Structure 1
Amino acid sequence: MELRRSESRSRSQRSANGGKMRNSGVRPLWYRNLVRLAHTRAAAVSIATLVLVLLLSVLGPLFSPYGQNQLDVPNAEQGPTLDHLLGTDDYGRDILTRLMYAGRISLTIGLASTVLSVVLGATIGIASGYFGGWVDAVIMRLADLLMSIPSLPLLIIMAALLSEFKVPASSRIYVVMVMLSIIGWPGMSRMIRGEVLSLRERLYMKATEALGLSTRSRLLHHLLPNVLPLLIVQTTLSVAGGILMESTLSFLGLGVVPPNASWGNMMAAASNLMDFQKRPWLWIPPGVAVFVTVVAINVLGDRLRDIYDPKNERA
């Protein structure tokens, strides 16, 4: 009788403890990782910097008294003043206003080209790593072929073709996005393929096959969630690469062209020795914008990699 009472009390205690655990709840992994990221000083500073850049680029032009291409010829080539906080260019256009508009274009190209390359690269990489065989061989040889061609000369050739066919300035923005995504997907696909090759040999993937789950279910519900951490980190780092590549092309006059402003074509003023020495307000602001944005993105990407790396997970 006493033994039964003891067992009953034990079951009641376990039930109560279970109820407490359910009520308190265990935070999901993404939430715990987000908290860890927010408590990392370098990541917090990077996030704050990127939010500020985004706000200035998206909302800043709405509050500017000047238009992107509004001319003020009497005040052309003027240094920073109260009316023009960062000065004016050769045509009297406000540098601060153009800098914010340029941020829209540079960030959009960096983000859009990265999303395109990640979607394409992840899809191809997962298919290549999971199915193997001739599918893997064909895809990887194509990726090797594209990766063997130096990216910058290839982009310069493609950009020169745009000029040859007289592609409108407004359309070049979209073409640059596609160009950057084309050179970005092979590296992404190889990285994802390597991760999938490792994951598909795990016991839980063998179990899904033994249970007779469909290929779609195995890929979407069991393989993709375990590839996401790598995708998140690489996507973050790729955005910085996209912004740098766009700035390089635009600096060389092969990317975004006037009258549309980008950080790259604004820095082209540094190619003129007179502007470089006598009018630094023309090229220093866009240069600082690129530097700060890329460093912030890279620091954030490094912190994300530290958090998602299993070696750094805390018990």
Structure 2
Amino acid sequence: MTVETTRPKAPLWTRLPVVHQLRQSVGLQRGMLVAGLVITGVFILTAIFAPLLAPYGYSQLRDDSGPFGAQQAPGGAHLLGTTVGGYDVFSRVIWGSQTAITVMVIAIVLSIFAGVALGLVSGYFGGWLDRVLVVICDAVYAFPALLLAIVMGIVISGGRSGLWGGIFAAAISITVVFIPQYFRVIRAETVRIKAEAYVESARVLGASNGRIMFRHVLRNATRTLPLIFTLNASEALLTLAGLGFIGFGIEPSSAAEWGYDLNKSLSDVSSGIWWTSLFPGLAIVLVVLGITLVGESLNDLADPRLRSRRAPGKTSGGGAATSVVLGGTLNAGPGGIGGLEARSPAFDQHQNDDPFEAK
């Protein structure tokens, strides 16, 4: 009699993207993922609730008691001090998270749509279109990312602009840098997937190119995108900070930006005024560290060889019972080969039986 057993289906919340990877992780890998998620979560919550957390506006220079004053030391009404321009450092750091996450989201969304579309079309149809797109993307990819972002920032906004103009200028300049990365990944996956048997079967059954591309190829070609955009998010933040540091960022009266604040604090460092540069720089480092930890952990969990790692203590010690014959088990323990070859009395009796004896 055959007994069929069915495994209970896991709850829906355990199959969510981040929760699923968190349950798969172990040891140091889990610690890295948890640390990255905590830092990234604090960054996102700070950006969302910036109007409630910041005591002053990003461009506010005075309150009811009068002007803030330039380069005031931390303490009192200004928890982290004031900048050389008279802005509150704590408020600028809080509002800067909102600018950073807005630019990152816009840049990554635009990059994904453009890069995935071009990579899918190029890899599926091939021919002269594929060769032209590959040459263009390789040429763009060969340029230094920050230099290309500077050129695009100058072309789009003339180097300086207001809030949304500056945000979109920075986002589009970063998008141009990221499109070749998504293009190359999606194109390589599309070339591999379109040669699979199920794609050929769909083509034989009369499915259109659009149906095959979006129903069969795209679904399987985009599985690595979460790993790419988590790693690119930190690169987008560094590019934005670099643009602001060299003077091609957003006007300080339009939005708070950490790179711009670092640029204005250069002269303070030699004068012993450390708070104007420490806290914006620390914000950049922590956010990049958190996003990078999440991306690297997801990258490890996507590799089956790294995903199956376990602590050494969990793989040593007594062996498990392994079923090798119907109704019996073979106990593999610390005895090694000798333990495997140990004979029971029933086994000796069976060996003494004459195989030719009539039954």
Q: If the length of structure 1 is used for normalisation, what is the TM-score? A: 0.85
In structure 2, the CA distance between the partners of 1:32 and 1:183, relative to structure 1 (3 Å rule), is closer
* 1:66 aligned to which of 56, 59, 75: 56
**Could you report, residue by residue, the CA deviation over 1:212-252 in whole angstroms, capped at 9, with x for unpaired residues?**
33323322222222222211110111111111001000011
Summarize the alignment of residues 169-184 of structure 1 with structure 2, pairs less than 5 Å apart.
170-184=164-178
Question: Which letter does structure 1 place at the counterpart of 2:47?
Answer: S
Give the C-alpha shift of residue 186 in structure 1.
1.4
- 2:41 aligned with 1:51: yes
| Percent of aligned positions that are identical | 26
Q: What are structure 2's unaligned runs of at least 5 residues?
A: 310-359
Q: Distance in 2 between matches of 1:33 and 1:307?
A: 11
Which has the higher mean CA deviation after the structures are superposed, 289-298 or 163-172? 163-172
**Could you report, residue by residue, the CA deviation over 1:14-40 in whole angstroms, capped at 9, with x for unpaired residues?**
4xx3xx54xx22568954873332552
The answer for the alignment partner of 1:201 in structure 2 is 195
Q: Distance in 2 between matches of 1:311 and 1:208?
A: 32
Q: Distance in 2 between matches of 1:227 and 1:220?
A: 10
Question: Which letter does structure 1 place at the counterpart of 2:31?
Answer: R
The answer for the alignment partner of 2:257 in structure 1 is 262
Q: If the length of structure 2 is used for normalisation, what is the TM-score? A: 0.75
Question: Which letter does structure 2 place at the counterpart of 1:25?
Answer: K
Q: Distance in 2 between matches of 1:65 and 1:33?
A: 33
Q: Secondary structure at the match of 1:52?
A: helix
Q: Distance in 2 between matches of 1:220 and 1:99?
A: 42
The answer for the alignment partner of 2:292 in structure 1 is 298
Give the C-alpha shift of residue 93 in structure 1.
2.1
Q: What are structure 1's unaligned runs of at least 5 residues?
A: 1-5
Give the C-alpha shift of residue 309 in structure 1.
2.6
Summarize the alignment of residues 66-145 of structure 1 with structure 2, pairs less than 5 Å apart.
66-72=56-62, 73-145=67-139
- 2:277 aligned with 1:283: yes
Q: Distance in 2 between matches of 1:291 and 1:168?
A: 26
Q: Distance in 1 between matches of 2:113 and 2:54?
A: 36
Question: Which letter does structure 1 place at the counterpart of 2:95?
Answer: Y
In structure 2, the CA distance between the partners of 1:289 and 1:148, relative to structure 1 (3 Å rule), is same
In structure 2, the CA distance between the partners of 1:252 and 1:78, relative to structure 1 (3 Å rule), is same
Larger radius of gyration: 2
In structure 2, the CA distance between the partners of 1:220 and 1:268, relative to structure 1 (3 Å rule), is same
Alignment: residue pair count = 298
Give the C-alpha shift of residue 276 in structure 1.
4.7
Which has the higher mean CA deviation after the structures are superposed, 177-186 or 154-163? 154-163
8 Å Cα contact 1:269-1:275 kept in structure 2: no
The answer for the alignment partner of 2:20 in structure 1 is 35
The CA RMSD measured in Å over matched residues stands at: 2.6
- 2:9 aligned with 1:25: yes
Which has the higher mean CA deviation after the structures are superposed, 208-217 or 227-236? 208-217
In structure 2, the CA distance between the partners of 1:56 and 1:25, relative to structure 1 (3 Å rule), is same
8 Å Cα contact 2:159-2:248 kept in structure 1: no
